[in-house]
Structure 1
Amino acid sequence: MLAVPLAVFAFAYGSAVVTGLTLQKRAVDFFDPAQGGGSIFDNATFGGEPLNVIISWQSSPDVLTDDGILNFARAIGFSQECLGLHLGDPQTANLGDGNGSVNQTVEFRQDFGNDFLGTCLESLVGGNHFRVFRQNGPQANSGALFLAVSKEQPASQNHDIVPDGYNIGRDELVAGAVGTKSFGGVTYNVVAKNITGLMPAGSDGVNHGIAVDGIVTLLTVTIQ
């Protein structure tokens, strides 16, 4: 059984039991970044982008690795950026885990059914994309993946977020993920749960002033 400091008990999402001076983690999905001095928004150019999807620590361990999240992303219609190139600076986030503000781990774009060149089309005409941040610091080492999902406009519109693009991007990703999905010989079963109270609703401090509805969707991804 995994032990974590008692100080993080207040922001564990899931069930847990206190034994002596430590918290025995039984079914922790993630830790609330705000309780560790972090934020459920990342740091973008004109405010923060919502970390509106979380892949639970209760998912199969292989899903939470760098190679695992790439394969899962491909299973749900996303892949690496066009020819491996990224334009602009990476966004950062503080997940309240003791690591402070760190760069995104990776970014994936909608691939339109072609995991090799499809993301080049997304870069041109717009579509869905998400950034990945891993909660693995010494104060809150859940291993959960926090995703900043949004739907963006084409390159001709500087890849700005479409109206209501954070909610739309989240909903489209979740709709495409729930159920049974497969890629590269790996089959996933995905269950979604909406969480309220973790993210404030509204546009205050949100990138481009685009309002969010305050819902974060938790995905539990199990390899069959």
Structure 2
Amino acid sequence: MFISTVLLLAQLTVAFAVPHNKRAEAFVNPTSAGGSYARRRGGSNPADLGEPLNVIISGLSSPDVLTDDGFLNFARAIGFSTECLGLHLGGPQSANLGDGNGYVNQTVELRQDYGDSVLGTCLESLIGGNHLRVFRQNGPSADTGALFLAVSKEENVAEGHTIVANGYNIGRDQLVTNATNGTPSFDGVKYSSTLEIQTGLLPAGSTGVNHGIATDGVTKVLTVTIL
């Protein structure tokens, strides 16, 4: 009896010692359950043109990175911040990530901050630059915690913030370069990111894409680790 009790306690100790702070999957393909890699402008109408969800922050990233506050800190480390004075023009965008939640509005929109995390996005609002929208895969069918980003480079305010030529590929690549170049940091937190390139998730070309701007069909997956 004594030996059995000791063995049971040992098993419990091992079980509780194993950290459960990592998701089991990087992400689940949204199209496998009726979702889409293209977000919709202002609603869930399938006839709406979409913009590509061209960057994924893997569910295998450090757990804090996948929270709202944690992702914001990471975004600031790679040159993005909240919108100018907290003001946002236009309605939220929606996406269906195939996780059982259907179409859900964006979690947040962030803009290039030009080196100033407080007021730099006001400059982006005027002259244009990179920006992103965040959608979280956390529904009952695919609770990976992965963050799907719609990243694109946009024109200045006089041009109505339309996307620049090749702006989806340019915006995606700029973000990934910032994330994988060394160990970016913000507010004392350092990050290291590894990159995986996925093809075949997004269709190449301009069919169904907002503004008729073609994409190369590449999705870039980042696994972000807090150092």
Quick check: 2:23–2:59 contact (8 Å CA) kept in 1?
A: no
Q: Does 1:28 align with 2:30?
A: no
Aligned with residue 151 of structure 1, among 153, 173, 177: 153
Quick one: which amino acid aligns to residue 149 of structure 1? V
State the distance in 2 between where 1:69 and 1:108 align. 11
Q: Does 1:118 align with 2:120?
A: yes
1:187 corresponds to which residue?
190
Q: CA deviation at 1:27?
A: 4.7
State the distance in 1 between where 2:87 and 2:107 align. 14
Q: CA deviation at 1:192?
A: 1.1
Q: Does 1:217 align with 2:227?
A: no
Aligned with residue 199 of structure 2, among 187, 196, 199: 196
Q: Which has the higher strand share?
A: 1
State the distance in 2 between where 1:194 and 1:119 align. 29
2:35 corresponds to which residue?
38
State the distance in 2 between where 1:129 and 1:97 align. 25
1:174 corresponds to which residue?
176
SS in structure 1 opposite 2:185?
strand
Quick one: which amino acid aligns to residue 57 of structure 2? I
Deviation track 1:48-93 (CA, whole Å, cap 9, x = no partner) reads 0000000001100000000001000000000000001110001000
Deviation track 1:81-132 (CA, whole Å, cap 9, x = no partner) reads 0001110001000000000001000011000000000000000000000000
Q: Which has the higher helix share?
A: 2
Quick check: 2:28–2:144 contact (8 Å CA) kept in 1?
A: yes
* TM-score between the two structures when normalised by the length of structure 1: 0.87
Deviation track 1:156-198 (CA, whole Å, cap 9, x = no partner) reads 0000000000000001111111031110111101111110011
**Root mean square deviation, CA, Å:** 1.2
The equivalences for 1:89-168 within 5 A come to 89-168=91-170
Please, which runs of 5 or more residues in structure 2 have no aligned partner? 1-21, 43-47
User: What percentage of aligned pairs have identical amino acids?
Assistant: 69
Q: Which runs of 4+ in 1 moved over 3 A?
A: none
* TM-score between the two structures when normalised by the length of structure 2: 0.86
Quick one: which amino acid aligns to residue 128 of structure 2? G
Quick one: which amino acid aligns to residue 174 of structure 1? V
Q: CA deviation at 1:202?
A: 0.5
Please, which runs of 5 or more residues in structure 1 have no aligned partner? 1-24
Deviation track 1:125-168 (CA, whole Å, cap 9, x = no partner) reads 00000000000000111100000000000000000000000000
